[in-house]
Amino acid sequence: MARKVLKALGLTDSELSILLVNDTQMQELNRLYRSKDKTTDVLSFSMNEGDYSDINTNLLGDIVISLPAAKRQAKEKGHGIYDEIAILLIHGILHLLGYDHEKGGKEETRMRRMEKKILEAAQ
């Protein structure tokens, strides 16, 4: 699925790592890197920001997905776990590319629209 998503985004030479964790591990990462002491569904860590970001521009970064959160959300939304992981993966990749729904408004709409477009293209 990751290859299909990257291809749909025109990033065929790009790389990323994906880590599936439990809620405890996700909460620790969220607390450590975002100062939010709670679990979340997906975190993205860009390799294209900060010092040394120009070393390997094909390396997008790391995406961490909470498998229990994905299971809960899949059940809530009425689809399978693999579909939810695909949605979270797309969401994480868009964050690596600079999309930010937390700003709200037009930026959130732009990101949600792109998520839908990429999900359809990657199917």
| Strand order from edge to edge, sheet including 15-21 | 15-21, 59-66, 42-46
Domain count, the chain: 1
**pTM (predicted TM-score):** 0.87
pLDDT score at 63: 97
pLDDT score at 41: 97
Which one, of 19, 23, 26, lies nearest residue 89 by Cα? 19
Residue 67: which domain range?
2-122
Residue-level pLDDT, tens digit, the chain, 123 residues? 777 888 888 888 888 999 999 999 999 999 999 999 999 999 999 988 777 677 777 889 999 999 999 999 999 999 999 999 999 999 999 999 989 888 778 988 999 999 999 988 877
Encoded amino acid at 14, one letter:
S
Q: Residue 43: how many CB atoms within 10 A of its CB?
A: 20
pLDDT score at 72: 98
The residues, ordered by sequence, that sit 6+ positions from 6 with a Cβ below 8 Å of its Cβ are 12, 14, 16, 93
Q: State how far the Cα of 15 lies from the Cα of 31, in Å rounded to an integer.
A: 26
Residue 58's CATH number:
3.40.390.30
pLDDT score at 52: 66
